Structure 1
Amino acid sequence: MDETVPARRPAPTRVRTADQAAAVVGRIGVAQVQLGRLKAAAEVAVAQAKLAYEEAAAPLRAKVSADTELLRGYFEANRASLLTGGKKSVALATGTMGLKKAPPKLVVADAGALLTLLEADRKLRRFIRTKNEVDQAALLAEPKVAATIDGVTIEGGDDAFYVKPLTVAAA
C-alpha cells in the first residue's frame, strides 16, 4: 500500500500581503529563539568542558610545580658542578634544565607623576610618545566639510532594513 505524504506548500518566494509578511516575521522570530537556545547550549557545553579540564589539570599543575621546585633545589645546590664552561643548561636523559634570562619588566607606580617628571626635563622628553591620528568621529560629525577633503569619502548613512520579531523573555 502506497502511503503518500500530503504535499507541504512551499514558502512563498514573494511576500504579497500583510498576512504573509506577518507569517515570515513570525518564522524569523521562531528561528532566532532557536538560535539563541543553540548558542546557550553551546556555551553551557563549553563551560562544562572548561570546568572538567580545570578539574583534571589542577592536580597535574600542582605536581609539575612541586617537581620543578625539587629540581630547582637540586640545581641550586649543585650549580657550580652542573654549569661548567659557561653553560646555561644541563642535558639529562629525559630533558634539559637550566637558566634563561627573563626579559626586563618595567613597573611604573604612578604614570601621571612619571609623565609630569619626563615633561619637565628636556633630556628625558625622548621617553614620551606622541601619537597623531585622524579623528574619525570629528569628521563624521561634520560630513559636509569632511567630504570636501581630498581622500575622504562619507559612505553609508542610508536607511537599513530590519526585522524585529516580538519576543517573550525565557524564564
Structure 2
Amino acid sequence: MPPKTRLKAKAQIDVPQTTAEAATDIKQIGDLQRQMLRETTAMNDAIAEITKQYQPRLEEAGKQIEDLQKGVQAYCEAHREELCGKGKSSNFITGEVGWRQRPPSVRITGAEAVIETLFRLRLGRFVRVKNEVAKDLILNEQEAVKGVAGIAVVTGVEDFFIVPFEVNAQ
C-alpha cells in the first residue's frame, strides 16, 4: 500500500488588475469595515439589553446568597466544636462547611520607603533587582553591540496598510 499523500490547497485571492479595480476593492474594504462596526454595535446593544433585563434578578439572588452565607457562618461559628470536633470541616446532608487557614502573605504599602528602610537596616537581601536588556539604548548605539550573539537590530521592515477614506460627521 503506497503512503498517503496530503494535498494542501492554497487560498485563492482576487488580485486587482487595474488601478480602478484596486480603488473598487479599497472602497469595498471600507464598506465591510463599516458593516463590521454596525454589526458590533448592534451586538453590544443586544448584550446591554440582556444585561439590563437580568441584572436586577442577579443582584437580588446575590444579595440573598450573601445573607444566607452570613447566617450559616454565624450558626457554624457558634457550634464549631460540635460540628467539627478537632477537624476543620463538617458535612451536612446538603453540603459542607469548613475553615481554611490562609497561607502567610506580605502586603507592602509605600514600596519606595520600605526599600530605603531595608537598605538602611542592611536588609537589602529582601530587595529584588531586575536586570533586563535596554533595547532603547541599543537602538541609540547600534555599533557598540554589533557582533554580540543574540542581539539583532531589525531595520527596513515595511508594513502595508489600507485606509479607506471616510468623512467624520460631527
Interval containing the TM-score (normalised by the shorter chain):
0.7 to 0.9
TM-aligned CA distance change 1:81 to 1:74, over 3 Å = same
Correspondence for 1:129: 128
TM-aligned CA distance change 1:106 to 1:51, over 3 Å = farther
| Structure 2 Cα separation of the partners of residues 162 and 37 of structure 1 | 22
Asked whether the 8 Å contact 1:89–1:97 carries over to 2, the reply is yes
Number of equivalenced pairs: 158
TM-aligned CA distance change 1:109 to 1:161, over 3 Å = closer
Asked whether the 8 Å contact 2:16–2:22 carries over to 1, the reply is no
| Shift in Å, 1:129 | 0.5
Verify: 1:102 aligned to 2:102, yes or no.
yes
Deviations along 1:82-113, whole A, 9 cap, x unmatched?
221x2101111111112111233433232111
TM-score scaled by length of structure 1: 0.78
| Structure 2 Cα separation of the partners of residues 66 and 170 of structure 1 | 51
TM-score scaled by length of structure 2: 0.78
Deviations along 1:33-69, whole A, 9 cap, x unmatched?
1122222223333344444443332111111111111
Amino acid at match of 1:120: R
Correspondence for 1:34: 35
| Structure 1 Cα separation of the partners of residues 110 and 157 of structure 2 | 47
Q: Which runs of 5+ in 2 are unaligned?
A: 1-12
| Structure 1 Cα separation of the partners of residues 103 and 150 of structure 2 | 43
Q: Where does 1:63-142 land on structure 2 (aligned, <5 Å)?
A: 63-84=64-85, 86-122=86-122, 124-142=123-141
Asked whether the 8 Å contact 1:140–1:146 carries over to 2, the reply is no
TM-aligned CA distance change 1:13 to 1:113, over 3 Å = closer
| Structure 2 Cα separation of the partners of residues 170 and 39 of structure 1 | 20
Q: Which runs of 5+ in 1 are unaligned?
A: 1-10
| Structure 2 Cα separation of the partners of residues 115 and 53 of structure 1 | 48
| Structure 2 Cα separation of the partners of residues 13 and 109 of structure 1 | 60
Correspondence for 2:63: 62
| Shift in Å, 1:144 | 4.3
Amino acid at match of 1:14: P
SS at match of 2:96: strand
TM-aligned CA distance change 1:60 to 1:105, over 3 Å = farther
Verify: 1:14 aligned to 2:13, yes or no.
no
| RMSD between aligned residues | 2.4
| Shift in Å, 1:131 | 0.6
Deviations along 1:108-155, whole A, 9 cap, x unmatched?
232111111001122x21210011011122223344444432221223
